[in-house]
């Protein structure tokens, strides 16, 4: 069980460990949560999302929605919106997507590159930061709830 206001830090040595952590994390993410995923290019954000989606029962491919901005996944037990704001030049662009409605939906919202649009987003329920460390990455997660 996840306790609101807590943080964790874990070293993930490779892609497989990152995906595995995502699978386990899926069970801890409340329906409707807004999750910010932070980290540079290649930090493992999409790999973590792939693990989360696999943990929720998704069996198809998982790609970063860098060009589409949003990739919805209607799974048997959850609706998941996977966003990637890397290509957002101006956060005003989100108004055309109907972002207010999407963010308030009863869906798990996973947002890569939230810093590109933070002025148009509510505060996250959960924040994940992936930082390169040695040959792997350090995952730091905070549950604000």
Cα–Cα distance for residue pair 66/100, rounded to 1 Å: 20
Cα–Cα distance for residue pair 15/41, rounded to 1 Å: 14
Q: Does the residue 136 lie in any domain?
A: no
> Does the pLDDT at position 29 exceed 80?
yes
Q: Does the residue 137 lie in any domain?
A: no
pLDDT digits (tens, 9 = 90+) for 104-137: 788 999 999 999 988 889 999 999 999 999 999 9
Please list, in sequence order, all residues whose beta carbon lies within 8 angstroms of the beta carbon of residue 43, skipping any fewer than 6 positions away. 130, 131, 132, 137
Residue 134, CA distances (Å) to 19, 65, 131, 140 in order: 18, 28, 10, 15
Q: Which residue has the tokens 């999302």?
A: 49
Q: Does the residue 118 lie in any domain?
A: no
Q: What is the mean pLDDT of residues 13-32?
A: 95
CATH of the domain at 68: 3.40.50.300
Q: Does the residue 65 lie in any domain?
A: yes
Q: What is the mean pLDDT of residues 84-100?
A: 79
Q: Does the residue 31 lie in any domain?
A: yes
Q: How confident is the model at residue 101 (pLDDT cuts 50, 70, 90)?
A: confident
Q: Does the residue 43 lie in any domain?
A: yes
Q: Does the residue 18 lie in any domain?
A: yes
First CA to last CA distance, the chain: 13
Q: Does the residue 138 lie in any domain?
A: no
Number of domains in the chain: 1
Domain that holds residue 17: 1-6+13-87+104-113+123-130
Return the closest-CA partner of residue 133 out of 39, 26, 32, 21.
39
pLDDT digits (tens, 9 = 90+) for 66-83: 778 889 999 988 899 999
State pTM to two decimals.
0.92
Cα dihedral 118, 107, 142, 10 sign: negative
């Amino acid at each position: 069980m996840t306790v609101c206001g807590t943080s964790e830090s874990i070293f993930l040595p490779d892609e497989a460990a990152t995906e595995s952590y995502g699978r386990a994390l899926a069970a801890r993410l409340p329906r409707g949560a807004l999750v910010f995923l932070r980290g540079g290019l290649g930090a493992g954000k999409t790999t973590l999302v792939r693990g989360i989606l696999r943990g929720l029962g998704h069996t198809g491919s998982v790609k970063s929605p860098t060009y589409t901005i949003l990739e919805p996944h209607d799974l048997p037990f959850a609706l998941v919106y996977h966003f990637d704001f890397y290509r957002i030049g101006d956060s005003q662009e989100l108004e055309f997507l109907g972002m207010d409605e999407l963010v308030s939906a009863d869906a798990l919202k996973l947002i890569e590159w939230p810093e590109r649009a933070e002025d148009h987003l509510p505060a996250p329920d959960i924040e994940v930061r992936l930082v390169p460390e040695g040959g792997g990455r350090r995952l730091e997660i905070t549950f604000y709830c």
